[in-house]
Amino acid sequence: MSENTWAEVDDYLAAALLPPDPVLDEALAANAQGGLPAIDVAPTQGRFLHLLARIAGARRILEIGTLGGYSTIWLARALPPDGTVVTCEYFPAHAEVARANLDRAGVGERVEVRVGPALDTLPDLAGPFDLVFVDADKEHNLDYLEHAIRLGRPGTVIVVDNVIRGGRVARATDDPRVEGSRRMFAALENDNRVDATALQTVGVKGYDGFLLAVVR
Ligand code: SAH
Ligand code: DHB
Ligand code: MG
Q: Is the CB of 204 under 6 A from ligand 2?
A: no
Q: Strand, coil or helix: what is 37?
A: coil
Mean pLDDT, rounded, for 198-209: 98
Tens-digit pLDDT profile for residues 127-168: 999 999 999 999 999 999 999 999 999 999 999 999 999 999
Residues forming beta bridges with residue 208, ordered by sequence position: 201
Element (H, E) at 47: helix 43-55
Closest CA to 79 of 112, 108, 57, 62: 57
Integer Cα distance of 94 and 13 in angstroms: 29
CA angle 17, 22, 26 (to 5 degrees): 125
Q: Is the peptide bond before 128 cis (omega within 30 degrees of 0)?
A: yes
Ligand 2 centroid–CA 162 distance in Å is 7
Tens-digit pLDDT profile for residues 66-125: 999 999 999 999 999 999 999 999 999 999 999 999 999 999 999 999 999 999 999 999
Of the pLDDT bands very low, low, confident and very high (cuts 50, 70, 90), residue 1 is confident
Contact 193, 215 (CB under 8 A): yes
Q: Strand, coil or helix: what is 2?
A: coil
Contact 214, 195 (CB under 8 A): yes
151 φ, ψ (degrees, to nearest 5): -90, 5
Ligand 2 centroid–CA 81 distance in Å is 30
Q: What is the pTM of this model?
A: 0.98
Q: Which of 36, 39, 88 to mutate to test the pocket of ligand 2 (most atoms within 8 A of CB)?
A: 39
What is the torsion angle, in degrees rounded to the nearest 10, for the CA atoms of residue 3, residue 39, residue 26 and residue 55?
A: 90
